[in-house]
Amino acid sequence: MAGPRNQLTIQRILAWADAHHRRTGKWPHQHTGPIDASSKETWLAVDSALRQGCRGLRGGSSLARLLAQKRGVRNIAALPPLTIPRILAWADAHHQRTGKWPNQHTGSIDASPGDTWLAVDWALREGRRGLRGDSSLARLLAQKRGVRNRLALPPLTITQVLAWADRYHAKKGRWPAANSGPVEGVPDESWSSIEAALRQGHRGLPGGSSIARLLAEKRGVRNRAASPRLTIPQVLAWADACHAKTGRWPTLDSGPVEGVPDEKWSNINSALQQGHRGLPGGSSIARLLAERRGVVRALTVGQILAWADAHHKRTGKWPKMNSGPVVGATKGTWYGIDAALRRGTRGLPGGSSLCALLIEHRGYRPLHSRYPSTKDVATPSGRVARAAAKSLE
């Protein structure tokens, strides 16, 4: 038999437990280890004595049961039973407070300290704590509260999806895409979930498709992700046809390509720039026509000033006629712009210069102090500024 010094009492065990809780903020359990640093006693030995009825104890208990009975500590092995009405009441209270229904990741249950929605979901699934099992929190709320269960969404059909798409197109004048948001008039349905079902083959759909592919196949809608390939000769042929009919070469703002359904010059320009649809990239409609057809674009004062502003922002200086290539212009140089301003070519009126233009519109003052400022420009045409600039160039 154990000696008197090895005897245990309920009072002594509770005193040790209270001291442990004050020191650590937690209640001990059988795997906590030594009771304190100065004692050879362990919580496992105490739990064993409580279970087996040795060392002066009656037995048939445990450390967890003792703390649950005497200190109200939650005993995971003997949790109170759950009922469906109780779970639904907790869920209703959560929804009323937050505007959302709980799920297994929602965390603790305010109305039942120590309980979590994950534990409730597990009990519903495994048939614990008085529940029948083979359910879940999502299934229960779908059945009893009509909450959408993402793992058991209603089936879809191609006919149904197309009907919703037709209605969307009739109302908005465009076809839906994966990012078009909720499906109007269909509670809890979204175009993104339809996209996922079409791609992955969920909800009764075959999979391997998408909204864009479905609309291309069934409604003839252009699928940008599967646009036909382009070639440089093809683009040039369309540009030649545009010029022959209108007398103008196309630009990225020219709109649809005549005679080519669903093709736009802006899309072609993007493909030329970014290297899409079989094109090498690094080009544009303007560059292509300049290289292959010798097309030189007309200039405007606003365009020249925009390039000059960009040059000044980048370098801290205003451009001069010997400043080299114009960044952003197709094969353009500041010398060429100055020449066009002087001679009146490329759509400009002539009789000016790059220096005079910057004096008139940007208050440019060259290092020579004899240049006038913008306040010295007598007329909107800038004749005084141009004359002064020209005399000093």
Mapping DSSP to helix (H, G, I), strand (E, B) and coil, where does residue 20 land? helix
Domain ranges of the chain: 4-78, 84-152, 158-226, 232-293, 301-392
Low-confidence ranges of the chain (pLDDT < 70): 1-5, 37-38, 77, 151, 224-226, 330-331, 368-393
- Phi/psi at 303 (nearest 5 deg)? -70, -45
- Whether the CB-CB separation of 377 and 354 falls below 8 Å is answered with no
pLDDT score, position 380: 40
Strands (E) across 49-106 are located at: none
Closest by alpha carbon to 262, among 216, 303, 308?
216
Sole residue written with tokens 């895409």: 177
Helix (H) or strand (E) holding 50: helix 43-52
Alpha-carbon distance of 359 to 385, in angstroms, equals 7
284 CB contacts (<8 Å, ≥6 apart)?
252, 269, 272, 273, 330
pLDDT score, position 115: 86
Give pairs for 378-386: CB < 8 Å, separation 24+: 382/352, 382/356, 382/357, 385/356, 385/359, 385/360, 386/351, 386/352, 386/353, 386/356, 386/360
Mapping DSSP to helix (H, G, I), strand (E, B) and coil, where does residue 325 land? strand
pLDDT score, position 6: 79
pLDDT score, position 237: 95
User: pLDDT digits over 235-245, tens only?
Assistant: 999 999 999 99
- Whether the CB-CB separation of 334 and 320 falls below 8 Å is answered with yes
Alpha-carbon distance of 195 to 176, in angstroms, equals 10
pLDDT score, position 4: 59
Q: How many CB atoms lie within 10 A of CB 137?
A: 24
Tokens matching residue 154:
């209603």
- Whether the CB-CB separation of 215 and 223 falls below 8 Å is answered with yes
Tokens matching residue 50:
């409580």
pLDDT score, position 225: 65
pLDDT score, position 42: 93
In one-letter notation, the amino acid at residue 307 is: W
* pTM metric for this prediction: 0.39
pLDDT score, position 390: 43
In one-letter notation, the amino acid at residue 381 is: S
pLDDT score, position 3: 53
User: How far is Cα of residue 252 from the mean position of the Cα atoms in its chain?
Assistant: 29
In one-letter notation, the amino acid at residue 257 is: V
